[in-house]
């Protein structure tokens, strides 16, 4: 089986020694090529090239951003759901690794490599549904508002040399909360054929659950959402401290639900549209895509085959 290992050497928990161990283990069972990314977008370029060259398996070794790039690169080469697309493999190497953990992989790269090799040997794969925000595919979440503001600020902090730790995310989320709590709501959403809902502060869109992790703790925003359903939607109608803290507590306890006029929740949503009164940051899979004022989200079932 021909495989390409796409490695992001800048990912949080990726090291040269670890990469060599993983590559050696994979090469014992696969005809393996290794590509180290040099810049943003390189993982997508490598995935496209691998698909055009007829690779059977493309393995993303890095964080969720690397996985997202590889997925988008693969899906630029063929229709979603096409059996001719290479199978996706994942070896986590970032800080959260939400997609890999949602598939049941260990966050330890060596353990995940052993499981991937077992899946390859046993030809164990599954089809997963994906989300799409405008023209960008996402594997586990996307959002406009609070989460996107946090992602944008963390990216700025990383450029200054700070590590993307859970503590950095928590501090940044708190700062963004206090700033946004003073602002007027700027977001509206139309879910399917429902009437448009205005005056929202944030819209969170999930393609699976958990939505993310705080260290080892899962954050369950849309418990009914999985790779086998359409999208989950959770929106905040106000940013007052008590309802926000209540929502956060319930997400950490795994039973997120709407409360009166403070939030909105939907499950199994095939399509929604988010509009903003001014351009706001959009994040997909933990990467900021810049500012947008109109975003179409859609669910595409059975879009990609993954080794599990």
pLDDT single digits (tens) 33-79: 999 999 989 999 999 999 999 999 999 999 999 999 999 999 999 99
Q: Which residue has the higher pLDDT, 28 or 216?
A: 28
**Residues near 85 by beta carbon (within 8 Å), at least 6 away in sequence:** 51, 74, 75, 77, 78, 304, 305
Q: What does the pLDDT read at residue 183?
A: 92
Domain boundaries, the chain: 2-123, 138-300
User: From CA 69, how far away is CA 67, in angstroms rounded?
Assistant: 5
Find the length of the chain.
308
| Candidate ranges 92-96, 156-160, 179-183, 229-233; pick with highest mean pLDDT | 229-233
Kindly state the DSSP code that residue 93 receives in the 8-state scheme: -
* Average pLDDT for 188-207: 97
Q: Does residue 119 surpass a pLDDT of 90?
A: yes
Query: Any idea which fold 138-300 has?
Result: Tumour Suppressor Smad4 (2.60.200)
Cα→Cα distances 83→63, 118, 162, 191, Å: 26, 21, 41, 31
For residue range 131-147, what is the model confidence (pLDDT) as tens digits?
999 999 999 999 999 99
Kindly state the DSSP code that residue 222 receives in the 8-state scheme: -
Residues of the chain with pLDDT > 70, as a percent, come to 98
Q: What is the CATH number of domain 2-123?
A: 3.40.50.10330
């Amino acid at each position: 089986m021909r495989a390409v290992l796409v490695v992001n050497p800048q990912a949080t928990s990726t090291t040269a020694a670890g990469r060599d161990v993983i590559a050696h283990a994979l090469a014992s069972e696969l005809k393996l090529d290794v590509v180290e990314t040099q810049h943003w977008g390189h993982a997508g370029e490598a995935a496209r090239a691998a698909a055009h060259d007829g690779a059977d398996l493309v393995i993303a070794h890095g964080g969720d951003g690397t996985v997202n790039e590889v997925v988008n690169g693969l899906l630029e080469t063929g229709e979603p759901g096409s059996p001719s697309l290479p199978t996706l493999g994942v070896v986590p190497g970032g800080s959260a690794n939400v997609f890999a953990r949602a598939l049941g992989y260990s966050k330890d790269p060596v353990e995940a490599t052993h499981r991937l090799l077992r899946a390859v040997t046993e030809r164990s794969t599954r089809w997963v549904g994906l989300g799409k925000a405008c023209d960008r595919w996402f594997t586990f979440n996307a959002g406009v508002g609070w989460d996107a503001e946090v992602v944008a600020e963390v990216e700025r902090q990383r450029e200054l040399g700070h590590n993307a730790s859970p503590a950095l995310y928590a501090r940044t989320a708190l700062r963004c909360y206090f700033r946004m709590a003073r602002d007027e709501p700027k977001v509206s959403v139309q879910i399917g054929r429902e009437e448009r809902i205005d005056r929202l502060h944030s819209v969170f869109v999930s393609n699976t659950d958990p939505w993310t992790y705080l260290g080892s703790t899962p954050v369950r925003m849309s418990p009914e959402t999985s790779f086998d359903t359409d999208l989950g939607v959770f929106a905040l109608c106000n940013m007052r401290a008590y309802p926000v803290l209540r929502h956060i507590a319930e997400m950490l306890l795994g039973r997120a639900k709407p409360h009166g006029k403070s939030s909105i929740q939907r499950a199994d949503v095939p399509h929604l549209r988010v509009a903003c009164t001014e351009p706001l940051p959009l994040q997909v899979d933990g990467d900021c895509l810049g500012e947008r004022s109109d975003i179409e989200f859609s669910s595409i079932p059975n879009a990609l085959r993954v080794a599990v």
